[in-house]
Amino acid sequence: MDSDPTSEHRTRRGRRTRRGRRAQHVAAALCLFSALGCEAYTLSVENRQPLEPLPIYATWWAETEACSGRSGDLGRIEWFTATTIRADDVVASGLWSPPHRIVVIRGFEESELVVRHEMLHDLLEGDAEHARPEWDVCMLIPR
């Protein structure tokens, strides 16, 4: 597991006391969250398929870079769709996992909110807790 890039992330991020609360929050929001792979959830991604990024993603990426004040390389992101993203009993519309992997539920490929939310995770290199101010600045905080 030491060679697994997610294991270090999990150790660094894993805080049991906050995890349950966040899961509830996410369940209420019913969609926008990601980086669950950083935690000790049983993560289930069903029917994952590669996704050719849409041309609009370049625009969304530039906008997300601008509002966050961060820069990154859109080209290094691996894109996928899936029919289900679930962590325990919590479902999600998108998932970011290190190093640069984004999964969106099929049908959400053209959802600016879902895609840009996961893009911001990439630019922030995680932040599963959505604690950084960029979420508010970019108006991509889960609700």
| Minimum distance of Zn ion from residue 92's CB (angstroms) | 8
Q: Are strands 78-82 and 101-105 parallel, antiparallel or unpaired?
A: parallel
By CB under 5 A, tell whether 6 contacts Zn ion.
no
Closer to Zn ion at the Cβ: 24 or 52?
24
Closer to Zn ion at the Cβ: 34 or 93?
34
The binder of Zn ion chosen from 13, 33, 68, 98 (CB under 5 A):
33
Closest among 82, 83, 79, 87 to 118, alpha carbons compared: 79
| Minimum distance of Zn ion from residue 86's CB (angstroms) | 15
By CB under 5 A, tell whether 34 contacts Zn ion.
yes
Residue type, 7: S
Is residue 120 classed exposed, middle or buried when 0-12, 13-18 and 19+ CB atoms within 10 A define those classes? buried
Residues that bind Zn ion (CB under 5 A): 33-34
